[in-house]
Amino acid sequence: MERILFGDNQFFAVNHISDEKSRAQSIKFKDDSAIIKTLDEARFFGINTFMCTTHDRIANICEIIRNDQVKYAGFKIYPCMPYAHKYANAITELGISGTIKQYVPGNIFGSLFKGGIAFLSKDFISIMELLIDAEMKMFKGINTPVIFLQNVITDLFLGLGADEILIRFHQYVKEKYNAEAGFITMNMPRLLDTLEKGGIDNPIICSSINKVGFRMSGGKKLYEKTLKTRKLRAIAMQVLGGGAIPPKEAIEYVCNLPNIESILFGASSKANIQNTTEDIHYFDVINK
């Protein structure tokens, strides 16, 4: 994985600092061209991996990238699924069967049959596989070497003790999409225990890692110990601690930690992209 990954929160009005900024971002990125412009600015500073949800508008972005393969040669996307709001809204509007008809890919009758059997037998793994296929439709023809399970699902299954579903996600994306599985979580140490127990060695885990312990279940000290003593490929997100840490101080802390393979951040301006990228490179050099 690349050292720096570019996220998508700013494109869909997700801001952990203020509602006012969220509204401003919603206006700024109301057109797909504004999203592409910001991605191109990130590429200008050497960021060639976009880690994003499966929001419906991402399909439009993928189409633009597919249609200009020369410009976007070497560009990668890390899909993060499922985008829970999409399904919640669809179920409200269309009902469960209508949602299945809208999002299940491929031969509708064969897929619905598989889905029906899954529901009747409570075979959640089969349902999960159908949903992965549905979510991946928009990324056809795009380089997606890592596919992530969103924390809302990862942590639900983790809390329920449904380890086999997490393990099967890892197996399925490898078998069907020749990709590695990544897991987003708010409890990195516990998830690592679960994945190792299931036979997954050196997993890719994306979690909140920051100086103030923001959204770090188990506490900052346990995370630091895990990074120093365990084997995993860690991706640090929410490094600003929800806006509680000055950017340069936040980046310095994360870059000083061992075993952080990648740092994920989102930004809505060229200046912020440049500043964050330069800070990461600066502290990486200092720590060599």
**Domains within the chain, CATH numbers bracketed:** 4-83+142-287 (3.20.20.100)
The pLDDT, as a whole number, for residue 154 is 95
Between the two ends of the chain, the Cα-to-Cα distance in Å is 19
Per-residue pLDDT of 38-84, as tens digits, reads 999 999 999 999 999 999 899 999 999 999 999 999 999 999 998 76
Compute the half-sphere exposure of residue 7: CA atoms within 13 Å on the CB side of its CA: 22
In total, the chain counts a number of residues equal to 288
Q: What percent of the chain has pLDDT over 90?
A: 75
The pLDDT, as a whole number, for residue 107 is 46
Statement: residue 210 has pLDDT above 80 = yes
For 212, counting Cβ atoms within 10 Å of its Cβ (0-12 exposed, 13-18 middle, 19+ buried), the class is middle
Are 137 and 180 in contact by the 8 Å Cβ rule? The answer is no
Per-residue pLDDT of 163-197, as tens digits, reads 999 999 999 999 999 999 999 999 999 999 999 99
Q: What is the pTM of this model?
A: 0.89
Band (pLDDT 50/70/90 cuts) for residue 101 is low
Statement: residue 261 has pLDDT above 50 = yes
Residue 260 pairs with which residues in a beta bridge?
234
Statement: residue 121 has pLDDT above 50 = no
29-38, 48-57, 114-123: lowest mean pLDDT where? 114-123
Q: Mean pLDDT throughout 148-153?
A: 94
Statement: residue 116 has pLDDT above 70 = no
Q: Mean pLDDT throughout 226-233?
A: 98
Q: What is the spatial distance between Cα 34 and Cα 3, in angstroms, rounded to a whole number?
A: 25
Q: Mean pLDDT throughout 202-209?
A: 98
Summary mean pLDDT of the chain: 89
